Amino acid sequence: MTEVIKGVYHIPGQDEMIPDSHVYIIGDPSSQDLSLVDVGLTGKGRYKISSINDFGVKLEDIKRVIMTHTHFDHIGCFAEIKEQIPWAELWVHTAEAEELEQGDERTVYGMDMFQSMCQTQYDIEPGAFKFKVDRRLQDRETLQIGGMTWDVLSIPGHSRGSIALYHASNKILIPGDVVYADYAIGRFDLHGADATALKDSLMRLAELEVDILLPGHNRIVKDLPAGYILKTAQQWAPYLT
């Protein structure tokens, strides 16, 4: 775990055959009101918790888990994490909250083939991803958490309930799997994905001033060139129809 800037910390994903999402911790340490953004792949809960402990963050200061979206590689170890911090709330965009509460796992696994593969590989029972959602996030909400201000942007396309968290004053964007470093974007072939919506979401993100890009996978970028997201959106536009 490393500090990106004060109030934003990064635990890199530990990819296996299936990727493990990065985890970000947001919140001023002195606020004792920290949030995990995503948790990662099934089996990675212990690694994430020990990274937090090793860094000296107190588990009791973690008040919630905010999901950028509910794919398996982001929410897979939620039950493991919840065992360690049972008081933590789960905040999910409203478009994926209903499915999660009903135990409808289509978004979690994305496709049937992947569902059977993961259930076999990790010995997961059907219905394992049924969770109470404590707060349903909406587009354009402003979260005052951990002594910081984060805007919630609904950016569907990779999944229906994908969100970005944006810290305007430090120009930090946490876009989940919608846009990555190196002009890459998230896949748009899974359950709930929508290529046209993804194009619109990228164009929306392109309007933000972003210096620090903290995606769900791969490298993080601390000095993002101006116009980076617009250029990425334009490169991909012909494929997003």
Residues that bind Zn ion (CB under 5 A): 21, 71, 73, 177, 216
**To the nearest whole angstrom, how small is the minimum distance from the Cβ of residue 41 to Zn ion?**
9
CA distance 76 to 71: 8
Task: Give the 3-state secondary structure of residue 58.
Answer: coil
CA distance 24 to 38: 7
- DSSP string covering 40-53: -STT-HHHHHHHHH
Within 8 A by CB and 6+ apart from 238, the residues are none
Of residues 75 and 88, the one with the C-beta less far from Zn ion:
75
**To the nearest whole angstrom, how small is the minimum distance from the Cβ of residue 183 to Zn ion?**
17
**To the nearest whole angstrom, how small is the minimum distance from the Cβ of residue 32 to Zn ion?**
29
Of residues 21 and 42, the one with the C-beta less far from Zn ion:
21
CA distance 94 to 6: 29
**To the nearest whole angstrom, how small is the minimum distance from the Cβ of residue 177 to Zn ion?**
4
Of residues 71 and 93, the one with the C-beta less far from Zn ion:
71
Residue with tokens 């910081």: 148
Of residues 105 and 177, the one with the C-beta less far from Zn ion:
177
Distance (Å) of CA 107 to CA 9, 28, 37, 95? 27, 32, 18, 10
Of residues 33 and 73, the one with the C-beta less far from Zn ion:
73
Of residues 21 and 232, the one with the C-beta less far from Zn ion:
21
Direct distance between the N- and C-terminal alpha carbons of the chain, in angstroms, rounded to an integer? 38
Q: How far is CA 142 from the centre of its chain?
A: 17
**To the nearest whole angstrom, how small is the minimum distance from the Cβ of residue 189 to Zn ion?**
11
**DSSP, res 68:** S
**To the nearest whole angstrom, how small is the minimum distance from the Cβ of residue 23 to Zn ion?**
12
Of residues 20 and 33, the one with the C-beta less far from Zn ion:
20
Distance (Å) of CA 26 to CA 62, 143, 174, 210, 231? 10, 12, 10, 17, 28
Helices (H), 133-227: 195-206
**To the nearest whole angstrom, how small is the minimum distance from the Cβ of residue 92 to Zn ion?**
13
